[in-house]
Chain A
Amino acid sequence: MILSVRDLRVSFRTHDGPVRAIDGVSFDLGESEILGVVGESGSGKTVSLLAVMGLITDPNASIEGSIRYKGRELVGLPARELRRLRGNEIAMIFQDPMTALTPVYTIGWQIAEQIRAHRGLSKAKAMARVEELLAEVNFPNPHEAMSRYPHQLSGGMRQRAVIAMALSCDPTLLVADEPTTALDVTVQAGILDLVRKLRAKHKSAVVFITHDMGVVSELADRVMVMYAGRVVERGTRTELFSDPRHPYTRALLGSIPPLTGQKPRRLPAIPGSPPSLLLLPQGCAFGPRCPVRYEPCEADKPGLGNSAHAAACFRVAQA
Chain B
Amino acid sequence: MSEPMTDKDRPILETRSLAKRFSIGTRFSAEGRRTVHAVDNVSLAVRRGETVGLVGESGCGKSTLARCLVRLYDITDGKLLFEGDDITSKSLSELRPLRRRLQMVFQDPSASLNPRRRVGDLVAEPLRIHGKLSSREIAVRVAELFELVGLLPDHVMRYPHEFSGGQRQRVGIARAIALNPDLVVLDEPVSALDVSVQAQIVNLLADLQEKLRLTYIFIAHDLSVVRQVSTRIAVMYLGSIVEEGPAEEVFATPAHPYSQALISAVPVVETTPSGTRKRIILTGDVPSPLKPPSGCRFHPRCPIAADRCRSERPELKEHRSGRKVACHFPTLT
Given contacts A156-B285, A255-B198, A268-B199, contact A185 B269 (CB under 8 A): no
Question: A59 in the interface, Cβ–Cβ < 8 Å?
Answer: no
Q: What residue in chain B is nearest A218 (Cβ atoms)? A: B267
Q: What are the interface flags for A156-192 relative to B under an 8 Å C-beta threshold, 1 for contact and 0 otherwise?
A: 1100000000000000000000000000111111101
Which stretch from B6-14, B112-120, B258-266, B313-321 is at the chain A interface? B258-266
Given contacts A258-B224, A263-B248, A273-B166, contact A189 B195 (CB under 8 A): no
CA distance A253 to B268 in the complex (A): 11
Which stretch from B71-79, B99-107, B200-208 is at the chain A interface? B200-208
> Residue B265 contacts which of A157, A185, A253, A263 (CB distance < 8 angstroms)?
A185
Given contacts A270-B199, A273-B194, contact A140 B284 (CB under 8 A): yes
Question: B159 in the interface, Cβ–Cβ < 8 Å?
Answer: no
CA distance A127 to B153 in the complex (A): 64
For A211, the chain B residues whose CB sits under 8 A away are 194-195
CA distance A255 to B227 in the complex (A): 14
B282 touches A186 (CB 8 A): yes
Scoring A188, A213, A273 by chain B CB atoms within 10 A of each residue's CB, the highest score goes to A273
CA distance A242 to B225 in the complex (A): 22
Given contacts A154-B285, A273-B167, contact A217 B195 (CB under 8 A): no
CA distance A271 to B150 in the complex (A): 11
> Residue B194 contacts which of A41, A242, A260 (CB distance < 8 angstroms)?
A41
Q: What residue in chain A is nearest B247 (Cβ atoms)? A: A263
CA distance A238 to B276 in the complex (A): 14
Question: A269 in the interface, Cβ–Cβ < 8 Å?
Answer: yes
B266 touches A214 (CB 8 A): yes
Q: What residue in chain B is nearest A253 (Cβ atoms)? A: B269
B265 touches A257 (CB 8 A): no
For B195, the chain A residues whose CB sits under 8 A away are 40, 211-213, 252, 255-256
A238 touches B271 (CB 8 A): yes
Q: What are the interface flags for A234-277 relative to B under an 8 Å C-beta threshold, 1 for contact and 0 otherwise?
A: 00001001100000000111011111100111111111011000
For B164, the chain A residues whose CB sits under 8 A away are 273
Question: A215 in the interface, Cβ–Cβ < 8 Å?
Answer: yes
CB proximity of B171 to chain A, nearest CB, Å: 14
For B58, the chain A residues whose CB sits under 8 A away are 155, 184
Question: A31 in the interface, Cβ–Cβ < 8 Å?
Answer: no
Given contacts A217-B269, A269-B203, A273-B166, contact A185 B221 (CB under 8 A): yes
Question: B251 in the interface, Cβ–Cβ < 8 Å?
Answer: yes
A189 touches B279 (CB 8 A): yes
For A186, the chain B residues whose CB sits under 8 A away are 57, 261-262, 265, 281-282
For B279, the chain A residues whose CB sits under 8 A away are 189
Q: What are the interface flags for A54-97 relative to B under an 8 Å C-beta threshold, 1 for contact and 0 otherwise?
A: 00000000000000000000000000000000000000000000
For B134, the chain A residues whose CB sits under 8 A away are none
Q: What residue in chain B is nearest A239 (Cβ atoms)? A: B271
Question: A28 in the interface, Cβ–Cβ < 8 Å?
Answer: no
Given contacts A186-B265, A259-B268, A263-B248, contact A271 B200 (CB under 8 A): yes
A267 touches B202 (CB 8 A): yes
CA distance A273 to B248 in the complex (A): 30
> Residue B269 contacts which of A140, A241, A263, A289 (CB distance < 8 angstroms)?
A241
A189 touches B265 (CB 8 A): yes
For B261, the chain A residues whose CB sits under 8 A away are 186
Given contacts A217-B267, A257-B228, contact A267 B196 (CB under 8 A): no
A274 touches B268 (CB 8 A): no
Given contacts A185-B266, A214-B268, A269-B203, contact A274 B196 (CB under 8 A): yes
CA distance A3 to B174 in the complex (A): 49
CA distance A111 to B1 in the complex (A): 50
A269 touches B199 (CB 8 A): yes
Question: B165 in the interface, Cβ–Cβ < 8 Å?
Answer: yes
Q: What are 26 pairs between A and B in contact, CB < 8 Å?
A: A40-B195, A154-B286, A156-B285, A185-B57, A185-B262, A186-B265, A187-B285, A188-B267, A189-B267, A211-B194, A212-B267, A217-B270, A217-B274, A238-B271, A255-B196, A256-B195, A257-B225, A257-B228, A258-B227, A258-B228, A260-B252, A266-B203, A268-B199, A269-B196, A269-B200, A270-B196
Interface pairs A-B: 8 shortest CB-CB: A214-B267, A257-B228, A269-B199, A255-B199, A242-B271, A267-B199, A189-B265, A184-B57
